[in-house]
Amino acid sequence: MRLDTLRAMPFASAAEHLAAEFRWLDARLAAHVRRLRAEGRFDDSPLRGLRLEEGPVLAALGPDRAAPSDACRGREVIDGRAAAGPPPPLYRIARAFGLDAFARSALLVAAAPALDARYGAALALAQNDATRHTATPDLLAEMLDPVHRVDRLATFAPGAPLLRLRLLRTAEVPAPLAIRALHVDDRVALALAGSSGGLPPGLDAALLRIDPADEDWAPDLLAVPDGTAPVVVWEADRDSGQRVLAARRAHRAGGDLLIFDPSRLPADSLEAEQVILAFREALLTGAHLHVEAADLAPDGAAAAALCVLADTGSAFTVSAGPDLGYRLARSANVERVVLPPLDATARLAWWRAATPHDPDVARRAWRSRLGPSGIGRCRATDPDAPDRPLPALLRPVHSRWTRDDLVVNDTLARQLDELTAFVRNWPRVLGDWGFGAADPQSRHCLALLSGPSGTGKTMAASVVARAAGLPLYRASLAAIFDKYLGETEKQIDRLFGAAADAGIALLFDEADALFGARTEGGDAHARYANLTVSHLLQRIEDHEGFVALTSNLPRNMDEAFTRRITHSIAFTLPDAAGRLSLWRKAIP
């Protein structure tokens, strides 16, 4: 077959391409060993500690001992066939990572021992050292481009794409640049063979690969520019449409959407390294990477890794807070886009698009802070299921009681019925009737149930939540308080954030311990307690949902909380008729 005809034939598979590459590599290795011997640089001394028999190793490389000119023609054929059809994995990966022809060939040689056992001994023979079963920069430079050997060593510097993006790795023990052992990990080796396996342990839990169409299912509801720079940072609350915009960019690029959430990594993971590996995975598979970095510290190692990746010029998107967004925007490749807040009115439109025939859609929009991505996942799952796992400081209250089980006087019964009607109907009043836009303060419902112990306060809170269709969770005060400065406020943020995301009702038993009155002056402990109460006031003010407080000592609570209470119900001990009714219910 003529060479020009062969060059026009595309490879049928990744395996066929690798077989051609290995035939070319066989010829280069054999020519390299012959050149060492011809130049008198091959050591045949019997004093060497370990010997390699040249004959068997060369025989394993195949009978064809091509001359250097023949090997060059083989390279031209492979390049021509790779360009004639869809690029093989090696060529596609090289283009995605910005590798030149030399770096691409170096990657192939370094990966050869991971794909074919013959090359462990062949590389050792090529280096005249039986202990070296992997390639070194010196070997690769001399074998692939001996004329520019010294210049080619820069390809293997730590800041070059091959090592910076973890296509190649070096041994943990430091060594001079020219003799560093180079190898590839399992993920890169399998990617060169066209396989998708081999993800590092722990990384798979933080990566989610989805079809862009699964995110951008209601395109008319988010008319926000998605940015034009290679790297776009969207500053907004979690799930405010960032994934939808990332899906649009992935759709334009013709690839999948790869979501990386560092908060799902194991506790002992190195976040900076995992960020780089997630970026590498997107390039290996041709996907668009979107990083959920809202929880990353702006001065941490993971944030620094994102800044390094932004300077590469490759396209990816980030969901981050203002501090991290400002740091990333120092790169010329980064564009910051501030998304508008997603209020309950906007969520109602997304819920109606997702569940157009749901008669309870207004309640879902007002009881949950789910964004477009969470709402989209609820289309195929249980709409009442939490989008994210609830933290351990929230414990479910399993209620077996109904309204008929409550034995209270007529005044208390009327107040509880009013509270139940308020919680059950406020989605319709605020959402469908539009009162929420006119009065933003009406979006939270704070009920104080006070009175002596044993009068039914916790029972009443569970009955109200059950009648309104809301799961009730008790906040653990022991888990909220922390002796370290600032940690209590973080726990309060986690609690209210998780409650808003999941659309649950909150119960604070013995609330006077957490909502106690602030004091003037005092020592550092008192000032810290005042700071905690002030932060709690702010979160109560911003929270959209039903919060029930029970207390035996309501007078000990801060006055600022009493001004925010929408319903205050005082429980009293039952009279004789009430006690008789309780006994009758208790004894079958």
Query: What pLDDT is recorded for position 47?
Result: 44
For the segment 233-239, the average pLDDT, to the nearest whole number, is: 86
Out of 32-36, 306-310, 454-458, 547-551, the most confident range is 306-310
Average pLDDT, the chain: 82
- Phi and psi at residue 11, to the nearest 5°: -75, 140
Using CA of residue 196, residue 199, residue 203, residue 204, what is the dihedral sign?
positive
Q: How confident is the model at residue 113 (pLDDT cuts 50, 70, 90)?
A: very high
Cα end-to-end distance, the chain, whole Å: 97
Name the DSSP letter for residue 549: E
Query: What pLDDT is recorded for position 504?
Result: 83
Q: What is the pLDDT of residues 298-332, one digit of tens each?
A: 888 899 999 999 998 889 999 998 899 999 988 88
Query: What pLDDT is recorded for position 467?
Result: 84
Token couple for 382: 């249980």
Q: How far apart are the C-alpha atoms of 580 and 578, rounded to whole Å?
A: 5
- Distances from the Cα of 445 to the Cαs of 84, 161, 478, in angstroms? 66, 55, 24
Q: What is the pLDDT of residues 119-169, one digit of tens each?
A: 998 898 888 888 889 999 999 999 999 999 899 999 999 989 999 999 999
Q: How confident is the model at residue 252 (pLDDT cuts 50, 70, 90)?
A: confident
Name the DSSP letter for residue 340: P
- Is a pLDDT exceeding 70 seen at residue 380? no
Helices and strands (H and E) in the chain: how many: 28, 14
- For residue 491, what are the contacts with CB-CB under 8 A and spacing of at least 6? 393, 479, 480, 481, 482
- Is a pLDDT exceeding 80 seen at residue 6? no
Of all residues in the chain, what percent carry a pLDDT higher than 70?
85
- Is a pLDDT exceeding 90 seen at residue 489? no
With beta carbons less than 8 A apart as the criterion, state whether 86 and 10 touch.
yes
